[in-house]
Chain A
Amino acid sequence: MKSLFGKLAVTAAILCAGGAGTAATINGAGASFPAPVYAAWTYTYNKTNPGKDQFNYQSIGSGAGVSQLKSGTIQFAGSDDPVREEDLKKYQLLQFPMLIGGVVPVVNLPGVPKGQLKLDGATLASIFLGEIRKWNDPAIARSNPGVRLPNLRITVVRRSDGSGTTWIFTNYLSKISEKWAKGPGNAKDVKWFRGSIGAKGNPGIANNVAKTRGSIGYVEYAYAKEANLSTVQLKNADGKFVAPEVASFAASASGADWKNAPNFRVELTNQKGARAWPITGVTYIVLKKEQKNKDLAGRMLQYFDWCFREGGKTASAMHYVPMPAEVVALVKASWKEVK
């Protein structure tokens, strides 16, 4: 009896070990901004590669993802704000860009046709500082000749949790408004003016704006599309009003100097270019340079390679911009650092 049991245990152990050698589950977590695309990618990859490694991505927020990576519970993290240089060094992390996307102001403004409201950066900052209180304010009317703006109170909806989307949004506002830079500043969680409404996550903001008359909020573009919200046209650095769309996000990305950016740390907000959407951001993948299981690490990079090669179409369909080919080449060169 005992020997039979022992044999069984050994067989089971061998089977398990064999399984781990051929296929494993690789877990990633972090930013919610690119989560819809990552979910689609992992789904397609897992389906087209049965019996190989299974990939997972949990949308838990950029900061949470990076801290899970540091503590070793996941194999890769997604982050919308570049990880601080000293943290990259201290924890031996590699960071590379995966997708480009746009953050868009969304409004619930009865009487104004969808997508027609125009705002310049300074006015947007004043609204989010709580200085402009009504929709028919002269500052808003100036950019919208011929549009009948309602005499309605502005309800500002912003994130109540720390968020990479907020980081990108406040990065833009800090560049465009000195008052913003000195006041709330550029962070994942800032001090909002009194009377603004906080909502959790991109979906939370989308819901609140959809339900509140006279509200304005900001979400990642895909969430605005999904909830069918009215977006705002913004005046860019060239002084042109642009509508948020994949082409205008891509226009922002084309001007960036990726080659000379340490750890791919570029800012795509307020970029030059006639078509450039001013609140564009990069979302990163972060992983450890020192990998315990070399084989597994290699297969993880294979997956990211697949994402760059095959994932572009899915990303574009979901209103994100895939990385340009020359940036992908730079990224792949950086993978040498993974040991």
Chain B
Amino acid sequence: MNKPAVFPQSGPAKGGPGGTPLSDKIFRWLAIGAAALAGLLTIAFFLQLAWHSYPAFREFGPGFLCSTQWDTAEQKFGAAFAIYGTLVTTAIALLIAVPAAFLTALFLVEIAPPLLSRVFGCALDLLAAIPSVIYGMWGLFVFVPFMQTHVQPFLSDTLGLSVIPLFDGPMTGFGFLTAGLVLALMSLPFMSAIMRDVFRMVPAVVKESAYGTGATTWEVARDVTMRYGMQGLLGAVFLGLGRAVGETMAVLFIIGNSEVISLSLYDSGATIASVLANKFAEAEGLAKSSLFALGLILLCITFAIQIFGQLWLRKIRKNSGGGL
């Protein structure tokens, strides 16, 4: 028992003279294959979508991006309404979810007593794991009637916001605003859970020294925690953004599915993902090609978000030299 443990030699152990063992070779090729698969899939996706959407782009040209028409009878298709709907709902979602997620995470890490923090933290993780279709069902059965009978009359009539075109429109409970709010609820736990982990990783000694200089909780959160964890926080935002942009089922239930660009947030609209889910099964010919083109646009949007996110992170890293 007291014998010193014998460690195997480091480096390749038993193998042919000078060669690596077979298991290592297999492992190496498996790893390369798996990594290559990801790259190949991405390229294949782009090629496939581009190939199938070519007829639509050839027919409509760049006008496809600006036209709001979606007319199966006249075979005229455009993407503008879907792009608009995707951007508007995502913007509403982020506008609400980012500050709310930040505050929730801050509360859990900095303010809440440990027991409360554990309970709320668990709830947050559970919320983040709920499948999106559940949010859609809840949205349709509970949230849409609630919006119709309470929130929309309150905003427009009680607060008198209907003078702004944004809050002037048919109060059906469906539409951009409802979809944006449900997307906010969906991405909030997701973002918040990551932000909480980011806050936890800020070394206690950094925060304590700030408190030592007499800083308040908010000052520490803003000037120390947030700056230190900026990269992680942005990562959380981009993950939430990704979820909101591509969300399909939940949006499909509650956005009202109209091919419309409208200033009113009460109007029913559509997002790229919801149009794809609605129309794909019955589409033929040019309509199908146009749907592929929409898919390509969605892929490009998510790609652009990723690239923009990376560039922004790099810039922040350079400027602040954040810790995480």
Contact = CB atoms under 8 A, between A and B. Distances in A.
Interface of A: 60-64, 67, 153, 155, 160-163, 185, 187-192, 194-200, 204, 207-208, 211-213
B170 A162 contact: no
B140 A161 contact: no
Contacts of B268: 195-198
Contact of A197 (B141, B257, B279): B257
B260 interface: yes
B130 interface: no
Given A195-B267, A195-B268, A187 B73 contact: yes
25 contacts: A153-B171, A161-B278, A161-B281, A162-B72, A162-B279, A162-B283, A187-B73, A191-B73, A194-B258, A194-B260, A194-B262, A195-B170, A195-B258, A195-B268, A196-B268, A198-B256, A200-B252, A200-B257, A207-B140, A208-B140, A211-B145, A212-B148, A212-B173, A213-B148, A213-B149
Contacts of A62: 282
B174 interface: yes
A198 B140 CA distance: 13
Given A197-B268, A211-B140, A160 B278 contact: yes
Contacts of B252: 160, 200
B71, B259, B260, B282 pick with most chain A CB within 10 angstroms: B282
A198 B260 CA distance: 12
Contacts of A211: 140-141, 144-145
Nearest to A198: B257
A67 B42 CA distance: 28
A191 to B, nearest CB: 5
Contacts of B267: 194-195
A157 B70 CA distance: 18
B284 interface: yes
Contacts of B281: 60-61, 63-64, 161-162
Given A196-B258, A212-B145, 20 more contacts: A61-B281, A62-B282, A64-B281, A161-B281, A161-B282, A163-B282, A189-B72, A191-B73, A194-B260, A195-B258, A196-B268, A197-B256, A197-B257, A198-B257, A199-B257, A200-B257, A211-B145, A212-B144, A213-B148, A213-B149
The size bracket of the interface on B is 20 to 34
A163 B279 CA distance: 10
B148 A189 contact: no
A24 to B, nearest CB: 26
A190 B144 CA distance: 25
A64 B288 CA distance: 12
B116 interface: no
Contact of A198 (B72, B141, B148, B278): B278
Contacts of B149: 213
> A-B pairs with the 4 shortest C-beta distances?
A198-B257, A162-B282, A160-B257, A63-B282
B194 to A, nearest CB: 32
B311 interface: no
B247 to A, nearest CB: 15
Contacts of B259: 191
A199 B274 CA distance: 11
B282 A188 contact: yes
B172 interface: yes
Contacts of B140: 207-208, 211
B256 to A, nearest CB: 5
Interface in B131-146: 140-141, 144-145
Interface string B266-279: 01101000000111
Contacts of A194: 258, 260, 262, 267
Nearest to A155: B172
A67 to B, nearest CB: 7
Interface string B160-191: 00000000001111100000000000000000
B284 A187 contact: no
